[in-house]
Amino acid sequence: MRSARSLVCAAVQQRVNPQSAQLCRFCAGPSVGKTERVHVKKTCGRHAHRSHFLQNSTTVRFIWQPFCKDPHPVTSPVPHDAKPAAEVVRERGRAGAAHKGQQTRATILDAALSLASQMGIEGLSLGALAEVTGMSKSGVFAHFGSREELQISVIREYHERFEEEVFRPAIREARGMPRLRALFDRWVDKVATEIDSGCIYISGAVEFDDRPGPVRDALAGMVLMWHGALGRAIQQAMELRQLRPDTDAMQMLFEIHGLILSLHHDARFLRTPGSMDRARTGFERVIQYYTLGSARPSPGEVAPNAAASGVLQTS
């Protein structure tokens, strides 16, 4: 059986000069004539080779190229705009450092939020936070820059967690009364988890009610955003005719917020048993008052759900 190289040489010989039939020194097959200079494609694996030899004083040049299933070498094209390897390594290093910095900042904020819940926003300081986290004071300063920025960051972090636990789950409920009830119920649940730690909104209001500045502005802005969410839920309930058309949305919001303030005072400060149930009973009374078509309760009268709970006894 003739080799592949012999077959290739024979094909070239037949194409160039069928009458010249000499033996090729390379593959022992027919070679080309004296005067022809021919490029012959050969197979030798995966790499191209070049061989030169003399035959009857005529140079015949063979160029070896792959002659396999995939005639194209396996290579990875390099884009013209590819970055040097050193620059890629530097960018990866910077990305890793940024991620580590974010993790460190999150750890500091978590510790700061815990401190603020116990000592108040005004009790936050770079030195106290450095002691709690085991970091240097300069390390904490590098993430916030000032005590004021640290306090504002803690307020924002608290607001983000409040939204995650209270607002976002409640907003998935249907518009109107289902959503308004979910907002209040989750707000009560949030207060229940803060009996030992305290609410940043409430304690911060006591600290900064008469102290104008960026910290007070940040705190007031977060509280107003929450009030806005409650106000929209009340307005939607009115649009759906689930509340009386003459409902005063701001008055209703004031009464609902008042229930939360009373709950925080009785549950955290006085440690009064049953404060959670009383808050929910008060909410039902507010809803009954503003519900479309329902009679306004007289003094001492309790909403049906509140009476069923047994928290308040009717006379």
pLDDT of residue 136: 87
pLDDT of residue 137: 86
Q: How many CB atoms lie within 10 A of CB 254?
A: 11
Give the pairing of strands 39-42 and 58-64.
parallel
Domains and their CATH numbers in the chain: 4-64 (no CATH), 152-296 (1.10.357.10)
Angle at 283 between CA 265 and CA 252, to 5 degrees: 95
Amino acid identity for residue 112 in this structure? A
pLDDT of residue 104: 86
pLDDT of residue 82: 59
What angle do the packed helices 147-162 and 137-144 form, to 10 degrees?
Answer: 70
pLDDT of residue 141: 84
What angle do the packed helices 147-162 and 214-239 form, to 10 degrees?
Answer: 20
Contact assessment for residue 265 and residue 274, using Cβ atoms and an 8 Å cutoff: no
Q: Digits of tens for pLDDT over the chain (315 positions)?
A: 555 545 444 444 444 444 444 444 444 555 444 434 444 444 444 444 444 444 444 444 444 444 444 555 555 555 555 566 666 556 565 555 456 667 888 888 999 998 898 888 988 888 888 888 888 888 888 888 888 999 999 999 999 999 999 999 999 999 999 999 999 999 999 999 998 888 899 999 999 999 999 999 999 999 999 999 999 999 999 999 999 999 999 999 999 999 999 999 999 999 999 999 999 999 999 999 999 655 555 545 544 444 443 433 333
Cite the DSSP H helix spans in 120-146.
126-133, 137-144
pLDDT of residue 157: 94
